[in-house]
Amino acid sequence: MSLDTPWALPITALAEATRAGRLSPVDLLDAYLDRIAALDGRYHAYVHLSQAARQAAEDAQREIAAGGWRGPLHGIPIAVKDNYTTADMPTRAGSALADADHPLRDGAAVARLRAAGAVLIGKTRMHEFAWGMETPPARNPWDDARTPGGSSGGSGAAVAAGLAAAALGSDTGGSIRIPAALCGAVGLKPTFGLIGRSGIIPHSWSLDTAGPLASSVADAAILVAAMAGPDSDDPAASGRTCDDFEAALAAGAGGMRVGVCRNHFFEALQPDVEAAVERQIERLAAAGADIVEFEIAELAHGLGAIFAIELSSSTAYHAGRIEAGTTAQMQPDVQLLVEMGRLVTGPDYIQAERFRRRLCERFAEAFEAVDVVVGPTTPLTAWRSGETSVELGGRTESALAASWRFTYPWNLIGAPAISIPCDLDRQGLPIGLQIAGAPFDEASVIRCAAALEAANGFPPRAPAA
């Protein structure tokens, strides 16, 4: 890879080139805009391009030339999911509703990216109000007949096709990691509360998590470190900042205690996915990691708990629209889910929260014996756009239920989890490996992910035309 195709380089390489003056932020922005013009008519990753991006790139170029380099994001084009409010771009959370416009202001994560010198290039397409796993009409750059996943599908497609250096997503039950897995990108869901959520349109207040999709583990770590910190407008914000992840990125997997939870996370898989993940576990063992197998029986009941919490939260947020009857103007699948929350009773919700607490306790016990837990991100690779059901393990399952089966447990317990590409299936589609850690132990997650990324040598982006 060379500076002739800067869109194919990770942020770490772009930062080195821009700081040294070998690549200007303005030329870098133009390279991405040219690629968007050439390819986004096919992939539909963006809903809006920023009119302020060129001025931001010019400012970054002038600052860097004057010795005012702010860090690795300075002058780097980053895309933003359409549920993050921004001061210079509209925010509609993927909806065509008349009342879907949100204030022109930067939320905490966006403000921190700007402070780090990032150039916000545009808003990415998402499934309406962060429901669903399709993100129509976005397409997967590995095969444009297939879905990029959801709800951050536009962000996944943008990163995979080289239409942004990285992109922001949001993750309530897997909406960063699922598009990352299906599109062959890296998706990092940090610990709940590590990144402030002010300015992010709510989906489920106790589950929503901000985070990045990127082309490498190091890039994802850079973005999380830049966005972490206090947020006075988010009562769930921890106020913590991140240490530099440089040591974790270089440490290797030797001596790590790697957990493999054999129940739930290894049930009803596509054979290629199962084989690829088993090879990754073998690779960690060969690198000196201690593989620890265990089971958590409570996982069998997790889907009901997260559905009760998520459905009731979404219904509460959209209560005014339900009363006014405007939910009929939503996409049909979204309308159904938004209105279904009315069927969740108060006792149902309390029982779901009780189960959630029990699951937190069980995983806390597990993390006394292991540093990370590894398994598939999704049980399948990208399915064809418009398919609502899939065949797995000899049974028919809804695509929605299948796609987030392995991701939602980490949302329930608020733990950090990353998806990295680890192989291709026999159709040439990416397979995602998920690595999770104890709350606020992003360092262990990043350490394990970086070690496997280095060993795999997997191409970070799709072979887009």
DSSP 442-465: HHHHHHHHHHHHHHH---SS----
- Per residue in 203-246, pLDDT (tens digit) is 999 999 999 999 999 999 999 999 999 999 999 999 999 877 99
pTM for this entry: 0.97
pLDDT score recorded for residue 463: 77
pLDDT score recorded for residue 400: 86
pLDDT score recorded for residue 1: 57
Given a contact cutoff of 8 angstroms between Cβ atoms, the answer to whether 290 and 258 are in contact is yes
Query: Could you give the angle at which helices 302-317 and 346-366 cross, rounded to 10 degrees?
Result: 130
pLDDT score recorded for residue 132: 87
- Per residue in 34-82, pLDDT (tens digit) is 999 999 999 999 999 999 999 999 999 999 999 999 999 999 999 999 9
Residue type, 434: Q
Active site residue 151: yes
How many percent of the chain have pLDDT more than 70?
Answer: 99
Measure the CA–CA gap between 356 and 434, rounded to whole angstroms. 21
Of 175, 215, 312, 314, which residue is the catalytic one? 175
Helices of type H across 331-424: 332-340, 346-366, 399-403, 408-412
Active site residue 444: no
pLDDT score recorded for residue 464: 64
Of 50, 95, 151, 204, which residue is the catalytic one? 151
Structural domains in the chain, CATH included, are 6-248 (3.90.1300.10)
pLDDT score recorded for residue 243: 76
For residue 168, pLDDT over 90 is answered with yes
Active site residue 215: no
Measure the CA–CA gap between 70 and 72, rounded to whole angstroms. 7
Which is more confidently placed, 339 or 400? 339
Query: What token pair was written down for 73?
Result: 């994001």
Measure the CA–CA gap between 92 and 31, rounded to whole angstroms. 27
Q: Which helix (H) or strand (E) holds 16?
A: helix 11-19
Given a contact cutoff of 8 angstroms between Cβ atoms, the answer to whether 120 and 50 are in contact is yes
Of 50, 81, 95, 170, which residue is the catalytic one? 81
With bands split at pLDDT 50, 70 and 90, how would you rate the model's confidence at 465? Answer: low
Average pLDDT, the chain: 96
